[in-house]
Amino acid sequence: MADIPMHKEVKTKCKKCGRMSPADQFVLDSYERMMICPLCRKEKEEKSKVIKNEPLPAKKQQKQESGIKYVGEDRTKIKHTCARCNHDFVYDTVSKHPKLCPYCGVRLLQNQKEFKW
């Protein structure tokens, strides 16, 4: 009886990758909304480091450098892209309309200084 281990390590299958890992090493991932194994966590951290170090694609750099894009001659309307769904629409700075994205319904910022272009 002395040869039988009294405490066995419980292993669980990761729902994301399918690998077996000790159950006490799993971590709750808020983005995936599930418990992930240490290897999945390590891969996720490595991917985030790579993404942070990469330069922006040319299209995004051009969008940031170009600044505000006015529509029409009176310069009261701005071309805006929704941060959530990437839908392009025109925002009137005088009447501050539309207040919601016409495609997904996300609320736009009220103060123009805080408005993300």
pLDDT in tens, 48-105: 777 666 665 665 545 444 567 888 778 788 888 888 888 888 888 888 888 888 888 8
Instruction: Convert 61-93 to b/e letters by CB count within 10 Å (16 or more is b).
Output: eeeeeeeeeeeeeeeebbebebeeeeeeeebee
Whether residue 89 sits in one domain with residue 44: no
Whether residue 64 sits in one domain with residue 38: no
Nearest to 24 by CA among 12, 41, 7: 12
Whether residue 62 sits in one domain with residue 48: no
> The domain containing residue 104 runs over which residues?
58-114
Does residue 6 form part of some domain? no
Whether residue 62 sits in one domain with residue 110: yes
Predicted confidence (pLDDT) per residue in 26-55, tens digit: 999 888 888 999 999 998 888 877 766 666
Whether residue 104 sits in one domain with residue 67: yes
Whether residue 104 sits in one domain with residue 80: yes
pTM of the model: 0.39
Helix ranges restricted to H, the chain: 38-53, 58-66
Does residue 101 form part of some domain? yes
